[in-house]
Structure formats: structure tokens, C-alpha cells
Copies of this chain bind each other. A is one copy, B any other.
Amino acid sequence: MSVRDTQHPIACSACNLRQLCMPAELDNEQMALVDHLVQGKRRVARGQSLFHSGMPFEALFAIRTGAFKTCMRSAQGHEQVFGFQIAGDLLGLDGFVSGQYCSDAIALEDAQVCVMPVQQLQDLSEQIPALARHLQRIMSAEIVQERSLLLLLGGMRAEERLAAFLLHLTERMAVRGFSSQELVLCMSRQDIGSCLGLQLETVSRAFGKLVDQGLIAVDKRHVRICNAVALKAKAQLA
């Protein structure tokens, strides 16, 4: 399963991802409090789940390294992927409703996450309004993010969906300092398909089409954006 390790207690105050999971406007005193919020780290091996639907909601997780998919499996065995999370993203926000996680979080590559127990989070939120507001913003962002997926599933064709997907991913990588031209996908065609409401074969064909049109170059899971303008036009966002 997974192993707790506290041997590398990198404090939030010293973390380069702080700007993503923590509010910006903290003074030193508050920062010191926040440093105690993270109760250690947890490693999750590729393919393992960080949590799954129905487990008691005990903590929120911030991704330090690696990547996850959040998904649900229906009674019929159909797996629906809701999204992909990378370093700096928060996992477990769906647990507040019922006190149980409502989805599965599965590591797409070996990962390390910061564990933030809910109780501490609640207590600290009461002391630091900025933290409470930040959580609010993050959850609101999650809502907006999922709506953009709904927009995609509701009104786009396969090629357009894939184009939008790739652009969305590069945007997020760019925020984290990566190239906005190059992209290494950490998920399978099947996962992409599930997220976009397509079969893996259709995803494969859509990749082919985009390559044929000269918009991207693909080598296995390595993707290069050749014509960002045309790609955006295709994704109907340009």
C-alpha cells in the first residue's frame, strides 16, 4: 500500500509549491502555524490509490510530486475519470459533504503527498481567515474546472475535445514553470478517453488527425504543440 515517512519534513514555508496550495497573504506567525498543519507525507506507488470512494474523510492531500487521476467506477464497471491532478493540486475536496470520500484517487506515477488532517484544517481555518478563504477559492475553482469539462462533453467533437484537453494540460504545466510547447502525458489513452467521454480508439484516431493537420507531434506519450493558434481555434477557445 503506502508508507508514511517523516524523514523529510519540508515545511510549507520552504516549499516551492506553497503558492499553489497555500494562501499568499500569510505573515510569519501564521506561516508557522501552517507548518504544523501538514502531519507528514505519504508515498503512493504508481497504480495505487491514495483513497477511494467510501473511505472516511480524514484528510486533504496536497501533491508534492507525481500525478493522480480522480475517478469513479459505476456498478456496471464503467470507469469515469473526472480529472488529472499534478504537483500543487489538492485532493479530497469531495469529502466535506458526507464525511466520506466520493471518488477514487489513483497515482499515475510514483507520488508523494502532504497529509493535512481535516480537524487541524478546520481549527486552523478558524484562526486564519485567509486560509478559510483560500480553501473556498480552491473549491470554487474545482467547480469551475468541472464545468469546463461539462462544456467539453456537452458540445465538442472528439478532435476538439482532445485539443482542449491538451491545451488545458499545457496551461497548468506552464503555471508550474514547464514548457507550454512540450508535454509528457502521464496517463494512458484509456484514461484520457474516459475523461473526455470517448473510447481509447477514438482518442488514438483523434491524435492521428491532429498530427495529420500539423497541429501537434506525437511520440508515444510525448506531445509537442506545433501550432498553438490552430489548436486553440480547434478547441473553440481562441
Contact = CB atoms under 8 A, between A and B. Distances in A.
A208 interface: no
Interface bin, chain A:
35 or more
A224 to B, nearest CB: 26
Interface stretch (A7-15, A96-104, A215-223): A96-104
A135 B147 CA distance: 19
Given A96-B139, A139-B143, A147-B146, A78 B153 contact: no
A16 interface: no
Contact of A94 (B80, B133, B140): B140
Contacts of A155: 74, 76, 78, 80, 197
A97 B140 contact: yes
Contacts of A103: 147
Contacts of A141: 97
A137 interface: yes
28 contacts: A72-B147, A74-B151, A76-B155, A78-B155, A80-B150, A82-B150, A93-B140, A94-B140, A94-B147, A96-B136, A96-B137, A96-B139, A97-B140, A97-B141, A103-B147, A122-B129, A126-B126, A126-B129, A136-B139, A142-B143, A143-B143, A146-B147, A146-B150, A149-B150, A150-B150, A153-B197, A154-B197, A155-B197
